[in-house]
Amino acid sequence: MARHGAGRGWYGKVVGGALGVTLLAVGASVWTAQADSVGSASPKPSASAAPGGAAEPVDVSIVHASDAGARGVNITIDDGPDPTWTPQVLDLLDEYGVKATFCVTGVQAQTYPDLVKQVVAAGHRLCDHTVSHDTAMDKKPESYQSKEILDAERMIIKASGGVRPLYYRAPGGAFTPYSRGLAASHGMRPLGWNVDTKDFERPGTDAIVETVQRELSNGPTLLFHDAGGDRTQTVEALRRVLPWLKEQGYSFGFPVR
């Protein structure tokens, strides 16, 4: 998984290794953070006391795998919803019978609640992408991280009519052990990516498609955007990528939970 963000791109590989995670307070169940890298071993949960004294294991490792199996891929769409681009993306997904995970920001969800409801009604899943998409939030205090994540969660739930986000994706990959544990304690699995199409840079439709074809061997989770600027290239790339993936024998799923 590489870090991304408009005007702030760095593309280092995430290195595997165990990470200690700060235990969250007041009845939150927290897992030990595990290796993030593609193909890393399955996480080994630890447990903390839940309300009533029961121990409940939870997993804060960043997920990449698909629930569609070895030939499964996860289409993930970030930064929306947007009134121009999200409907076009939804139409394409419907045309090819594909379900996707939409990582929406709190601001956009609050502004366009009807689009969030359309995403849910079409059978797609929601992901918390924070309130304001601050790609430097990993450098900010834990209180700030908490507000960005939990306020976005509330905004998304309200916009969707009560549907909870099932994942948390840090803006630009700016995860911290704290943010991962916090999200997980609210039932949101930290979500990474394997193929960064860099569509937010508008490199050209051909370049986006070629990136998918070249880097798909890195893992099953593909990153696209439906907001943050002109997404004509993204829409056209999806129009080519989705049938190509089917022709290659891939099926479409959701990130494992």
Q: For 130-165, how does the pLDDT look when each residue is reduced to its tens digit (9 = 90+)?
A: 999 999 999 999 999 999 999 999 999 999 999 999
Task: Report whether pLDDT(4) > 90.
Answer: no
Task: Report whether pLDDT(62) > 90.
Answer: yes
Q: Mapping DSSP to helix (H, G, I), strand (E, B) and coil, where does residue 102 land?
A: strand
Q: Looking at 14-28, 101-115, 161-175, 227-241, which range is the least confident one?
A: 14-28
- List active site positions: 78, 225
Q: Give percent above pLDDT 70 in the chain.
A: 78
Say if CB 184 and CB 190 are below 8 A apart. yes
Task: Report whether pLDDT(248) > 50.
Answer: yes
Say if CB 192 and CB 37 are below 8 A apart. no
Global confidence as pTM = 0.81
- Residues whose CB falls within 8 Å of the CB of residue 24, separated by 6 or more in sequence, listed in order: 30, 48, 181, 182, 185
Amino acid at 141: P
Task: Report whether pLDDT(234) > 80.
Answer: yes
List the Cα angle 237/242/243 in 5-degree steps.
115
Task: Report whether pLDDT(52) > 60.
Answer: no
Confidence of residue 42 (pLDDT cuts 50, 70, 90): very low
CA neighbor of 32 nearest in space, from 48, 16, 21: 21
Average pLDDT over residues 103-120: 98
Q: Looking at 58-62, 158-162, 180-184, 209-213, which range is the least confident one?
A: 58-62
Q: For 180-194, how does the pLDDT look when each residue is reduced to its tens digit (9 = 90+)?
A: 999 999 999 999 999
Mean pLDDT of the chain: 84
The per-residue pLDDT for 141 is 98
Task: Report whether pLDDT(23) > 50.
Answer: no
Instruction: Return the CATH class of domain 60-253.
Output: alpha beta
